[in-house]
Amino acid sequence: MRTGGKLLIGFVGIVVILGACSRADEDPAAQPPASGSVAAAGTASVAQPAALPAPGEARCHSGDTVYDGDDTCHPGGELVTVRRIVDGDTLEIMDGRRVRLLGADAPEVGTCAGPGATEHTRSLVEGHVVKLHTEPGVDVDQHGRFLRYVQYAAVADRDDQPIYANDLGKSLVLGGWATPVGRSDANATYEKSLDGAERIAEYRPEGMYGPPCGEPLVYGDGT
């Protein structure tokens, strides 16, 4: 009888131990985390998202550090909306700031080509978002206008995001509606780009170089 009792007690003990092990297997909280899970959690905590362009702007892959006015996007800059055009080379943006183009000088509104220059700028950027770029060490002129390079979008990428790659000052000069400013606050590379655009524009019968405001040059006339 004693022997049978000992066997029964031993059998009950085995059942209790097996039951405890089974519950531990079923309870995830009771299990130590797998080494793979710890590594994954650590990676997630330090991973940084890739830098994204501003809303409504295509990604710019250019590595330019000097603004040159070429037909390409330029990294950085400030996206703003143009409220109205003051004249060919001056914009007013939605926050009330007036922006004066760096390096380019359009004729005044009251002169022969002034209205045409104003209309040229209006047709490109009034009511649209543009991108402002600064020249290092340059901010405002003596009238409190912010001196900036201005880029506007004429095309979009495959995701239909605008590409701000067209320089407004260069467009004005190339169209015969502005001239480069000698020894301006713009950098030398940009000034050289505008000089090249002017050498093309002065042969075109448009803007200040065409009637009734002027007379374009003729190829082969010795100039």
CATH number corresponding to 78-209: 2.40.50.90
**Confidence at residue 55, expressed as pLDDT on a 0 to 100 scale:** 67
Task: Report the C-alpha gap between 71 and 86 in whole angstroms.
Answer: 25
d(CA 74, CA 88): 23
Which tokens is 65 given? 């550090």
Domain definitions of the chain by residue range? 78-209
Residue 183: the pLDDT is 85
Q: Which residues contact 99 (CB under 8 A, 6 or more apart)?
A: 90, 91, 92, 93, 132, 145, 146, 147, 148, 150
Quick one: pLDDT at residue 52? 53
The pLDDT of residue 219: 85
pLDDT means per 10 residues in the chain (223 residues)? 44 42 46 42 41 74 93 95 98 98 96 98 98 97 97 93 97 98 93 96 95 92 62
Instruction: Please count the helices (runs of H) and the strands (runs of E) in the chain.
Output: 5, 8
Maximum separation of any 2 CA atoms in the chain, in Å: 133
Q: What is the pLDDT of residue 223?
A: 55
Give pTM, 2 decimals: 0.75
Q: Is 79 exposed, middle or buried (0-12, 13-18, 19+ CB in 10 A)?
A: middle
